[in-house]
Structure 1
Amino acid sequence: MPKGNILIVDDNKSIISTLEILLGPEFDTVKGITNPNQIPTELRTGNFNLVILDMNFKAGINSGNEGLYWLKEIKKSHPDISVVLITAYSEVELAVKALKQGATDFVPKPWENSKLLATVKSAIQLNYSKMEVGYLKQKEKDLKQELNRDQKYIMGSSSQLMQVMNVVRKVAKTNANILITGENGTGKELIAREIHRLSLRRSEVMVSVDMGAISETLFESELFGHVKGAFTDARENRAGKFETANKGTLFLDEIGNLSFHLQAKLLAAIQNREFMRLGSDKSIPVDIRLVCATNKNLEQMVAEGLFREDLLYRINTIQIEIPPLRNRGNDIILLADFFLKKYASKYDKHGLKINQPAQEKLLNYPWPGNIRELQHTIEKAVILSDSTVLKPEDFFFKQILSAKFDEPLTIEEMEKRMILSAIEKNAGNMSLAAEKLGITRQTLYNKIKKYGI
């Protein structure tokens, strides 16, 4: 760390010289000026951590008002710079007043060199600490903006989508708990992010939690955090998702997958707006906007004893149902064109278009995997395309297998059926299908093309 830069402001040249001799070897820069009117220019052009400021400059005037004035001016333009005042013993009471107005410390005349050095070093360290805090605050702000940056888009003009967006705009600026329902792949998380973006909490972070991906043993640690020593691998204190989302939005995806006995713990935290870290007995208050999502019928799960009725009432002050893609009409083509441009650019196949018969094929397909399936379908078509015009045969959809296993099959037919099954089970996600088959993604695309799937 640099030693620091000091500006000395005193009308007594001998004091400046003495301080330069004393402080010069200890710090990077020590500069003295006798005219306080030069302070603004020096602070603007220099990189000072500390100003050592005399209280009086005009002969015969010992009120200290000049020092207070320049202290105020320094703090106005450079609030983080430390200011140490040089005072006479008779001005100590005045110096105490200056401390209340932002001065870091004061040094009475005559001073002891060791005490002066200690005061100056402490004041410079305070300046570095303030700059570090400012840096961390700015970094936190930038991080929140980056996390909240729009990476995906809600696209469409269908009446079904417009009804959803109308509700989103109405509820976004409230703190009402929201439950988003709909089939897999309909864009529930995108709606949650739009709610956060339009809310009064948009400058804070939105924390997403996949409830289906959290194991029961780690549930409390993940959501509520833990203290050091709470369990074998708890080597340090850790904040959970609730704490991280404080002042912002907490999005609990796939909440229908949460086991029944853990639902009570979640309900308590939501209801009381406080929780305890695992291994601690101290309650932590939390201020969050809660948004949940599921593809399951929670009312039916309540009737079957699989979901707590009181938790359902708590999370769905407002329920938003996302329509499946098959009910959104021409939005299918709008989204297909969006994904086409995205993947044409990604794979350097510019100028691609979907012809009319292919568009009709896209419109007539029921899209059981919704937007996610459409996205993978377009990506696959772009990768395998040999021309600039995509035709119906360039689009491959999931097929229902009706294999008669009592009939002899060729190795090729068996391989084809395995590929179709893997694609269907993974909702058209080629990366996951390839992983399940134990082959590379490129090999999978080669076989898709070979078998005309």
Structure 2
Amino acid sequence: MNSDKCILIVDDDEDILTAGQLLLKRHFGTVVTCNRPEHIPQAMAERTFDAILLDMNFSPGASSGEQGFVWLQRIRDIDPDAVVVVITAHAGVDIAVEAMKHGATDFIAKPWHNEKVVATLSAAVQLRHSRSEASRLKRSNQLLVEAAGGAGQNLLGNSPAMAAVHSMIRRTAPTDANVLILGENGTGKELVARELHQQSLRRGNVFMSVDLGSVSATLFESELFGHHKGAFTGAGKDRIGRLVAASGGTLFLDEIGNIPLHLQAKLLTVLEQRQVTPLGSNQAIAIDVRVVAATNLSREALNDGEKFRQDLLFRLNTVEITLPPLRQRAEDIPEIAIHYARLYARKYRKPEKSFSAAALSAARAYTWPGNVRALRHAVERAVILSEGKQFETADLQLDSVPAGGESFAGNIGRAAGSAATHSATGPAAGDLHLESMEKRLVQAALQRHSYNISKAAKDLGLTRAALYRRMEKYGF
């Protein structure tokens, strides 16, 4: 089992080195001996040792262990994960204990028992493996944290409305205050949450996002609190909850308004007590997590105690940030459109193009019911399909906006009524095109429910995921 492991023995007694090598080479792949401690740095530079057996005294008659302490520190300076087992005389147990306080893993007393030496070094090798694995996982986790924090989109816009948002983020991020983000779908609530995390003292730890709109009520507790094997039918193994997994970092709870009232009470208890009990367990786990929540519900709807617990609302919105819809910051539209045009040109290996003045003017005049998400999809589609030297208005495929502020839902309603009238007299071929009809229905449902994805999906008889796919397909 240890045939690939490497052991270093450091002792000025040649008899000890010979005896140790003869004993250990039967149990470990490589055994290196060293009779002068000053050679330790060179030996460690040449290879990585799974365990180091270090004598505490190297001068004749020495018994204080001072030299051993010096070299123990040097070894740990060279390799902080090094596993060191010290060698001492029976009378030097106090020295061995002190060495363990300074980072040694264990000790072996002279004269030693062979079985004790092999068992101690086998345990030391296992500890080294665990330390190496933990370091590897820590490095991997750090890379994942950096990638997750840096690979997202930017929170774009310098309009007065967005300047206020950036100011709120700058003042709030360094604290651990819970934040509630309000705004329509597509305004960039998750981007605000990520920016809060990146500017916080927790930025070196995980940012975890949970879309509560896609988590069923039956799985809510398992998803957030975790469960033990056998806690319910289908729980075949232990599962760590998101609240525990995000401990030390930031947990973003999107679509918080979709949680049923009875589950809101359970979430409130966890946030107040700062500990969570997995399903099937009686043992509470302490958590250290900053909660950032978001919803597309209006402030009036949140204040309705029949829809949302007011005590939970108070717990979540220590600080409240409201994101303006894109139509209220039209001056940001050119910057956002240009940013995504460059982004998608690189993604699809297309030449970078500018927007014509007419295209930018049309984009600024459009109401963008899907907000930044809709603009992003329109630009992506334009990058893929445009054949001109510039992006023109037609490339954005903007739906016509009725004059006089008439709602798009009203326009769709008239279109549907018109289609019904035509059906009695023989409809035109385009009126019954399935994709066109589906697109109009999706738009109408989204508009009717103010782009509340959950309600629109329910109205259409679709899952949220299915509705998102159709929104992606039609560029909403």
TM-score normalised to structure 2 length:
0.85
- 1:406 matches 2:421: yes
**Runs of 5+ consecutive residues of structure 2 not aligned to the other structure:** 401-410, 454-464
Decide whether the 8 Å contact of 1:177 with 1:315 is kept in 2.
yes
Looking at structure 1, the residues matched to 312 and 107 of structure 2 have their Cα atoms a distance apart, in angstroms, of 59
CA contact (8 A) 1:426 1:432 kept: no
- The structural deviation recorded for 1:235 is 1.6
Change over 3 Å in CA distance of 1:24–1:396 after alignment to 2: same
Cα distance in 2 between the residues matched to 1:319 and 1:420: 35
Contact between 1:181 and 1:294, CA under 8 Å: does it hold in 2? yes
Separation in structure 1 between the aligned mates of residue 265 and residue 46 of structure 2, nearest angstrom: 61
Cα 1:363/1:36, change in 2 over 3 Å: same
Structure 1, 58-67 or 368-377: larger mean CA deviation: 58-67
TM-fit CA distance, 1:84: 2.7
Q: Is the 8 A contact 2:182 2:321 kept in 1?
A: yes
State the Cα deviation string for residues 334-385 of structure 1 (Å, max 9, x = none): 1111111122222332032211111111111111111011111112222221
Distance 2:392 2:466 in 1: 26
Distance across 2 between alignment mates of 1:212 and 1:101: 52
* 1:334–1:31 Cα change, 3 Å: same
| Pairing of 1:31-70 with structure 2 (within 5 A) | 31-70=32-71
**Retained in 2: the 8 A contact 1:398–1:423?**
no
Counterpart in the other structure of 2:443: 424
- Residue equivalent to 1:257: 258
In 2, Cα distance between equivalents of 1:256 and 1:86: 63
Contact 2:341-2:352 within 8 A present in 1 as well: no
Alignment of 1:353-364 (within 5 A): 353-364=354-365
Q: Quote the residue 1:190 is aligned against.
A: 191
Match of 1:449 in 2: none
> Residues 327 and 371 of structure 2 are in contact (CA less than 8 Å); yes or no, is this contact kept in structure 1?
yes
Residue 165 of structure 1: how far off its partner (Å): 0.6
3-state SS of paired residue (1:234): coil
Describe the shift of the 1:21–1:188 C-alpha distance in structure 2 as closer, same or farther (beyond 3 A).
same
User: SS in structure 2 opposite 1:86?
Assistant: strand
- In the alignment, which residue of structure 1 is the partner of 2:403? none
How far does the alpha carbon of each residue in 1:120-150 deviate from its partner, in whole angstroms, 9 at most, with x for none?
Answer: 2222222222222222232333332232224
- CA separation of 1:12/1:420 partners in 2, compared to 1, >3 Å: closer, same or farther? closer
SS at match of 1:406: helix
Task: Give the equivalent residue in structure 2 for 1:234.
Answer: 235
* Aligned residue number for residue 140 of structure 1: 141
Q: 1:50 to 1:156 in 2, by over 3 A?
A: same
Q: How many equivalent residue pairs?
A: 440
Please report how far the alpha carbon of residue 180 of structure 1 lies from its aligned counterpart in structure 2 after TM superposition. Answer: 1.0
Number of the residue aligned with 2:459: none
Q: Which amino acid aligns with 1:24?
A: K
State the distance in 2 between where 1:380 and 1:67 align: 69
Amino acid at match of 1:10: D
- Structure 2 match to 1:451: none
Q: Secondary structure at the match of 2:227?
A: coil
Any idea what the Cα deviations from partners look like across 1:86-112, whole Å, max 9, x if unmatched? 333343443333333333333333333
Secondary structure, counterpart of 1:8 in structure 2: strand
**What one-letter code is carried by the residue in structure 1 that aligns with 2:17?**
I
- The structure-2 alpha-carbon separation of the partners of 1:152 and 1:113, relative to structure 1 and needing over 3 Å to count, comes to same
> Match of 1:369?
370
What's the offset of the Cα at 1:250?
1.6
Equivalent-residue separation in structure 2 for 1:47 and 1:34 (angstroms)? 18
Alignment of 1:140-159 (within 5 A): 140-159=141-160
Does residue 166 in structure 1 map to residue 184 in structure 2?
A: no
CA 1:434–1:323: 2 relative to 1, 3 Å: closer
Q: Does 1:306 align with 2:307?
A: yes
Deviation at 1:301, TM superposition (A): 4.7
Go from structure 1 to structure 2 and tell me whether the alpha carbon gap of 1:45 and 1:432 turns closer, same or farther (over 3 Å shift).
same
Contact 2:3 2:27 in 1 (8 A): no
| 2:212 alignment partner in structure 1 | 211
- Partner of 1:217, secondary structure, is coil
Which sits farther off after the overlay, 359-368 or 146-155? 146-155
> What is residue 378 of structure 1 aligned with on the other side?
379
Q: Scaled by the length of structure 1, what TM-score is found? A: 0.89
- Change in 2 beyond 3 A, CA 1:285/1:319: same
Measured on the aligned residues, the alpha-carbon RMSD in Å equals 2.7
Cross-structure match for 1:289: 290
Residues 260 and 308, structure 1, Cα contact 8 Å, conserved in 2:
yes
Question: Over residues 11-66 of structure 1, what are the superposed CA-to-partner deviations in whole Å (9 max), with x where a residue is unaligned?
Answer: 23233223222222322221222222111221122222222223332234344332
Deviation larger for 138-147 or 206-215: 138-147
Q: CA deviation at 1:394?
A: 2.1
User: 1: distance between equivalents of 2:160 and 2:268?
Assistant: 35
**1:419, CA displacement in angstroms?**
5.2
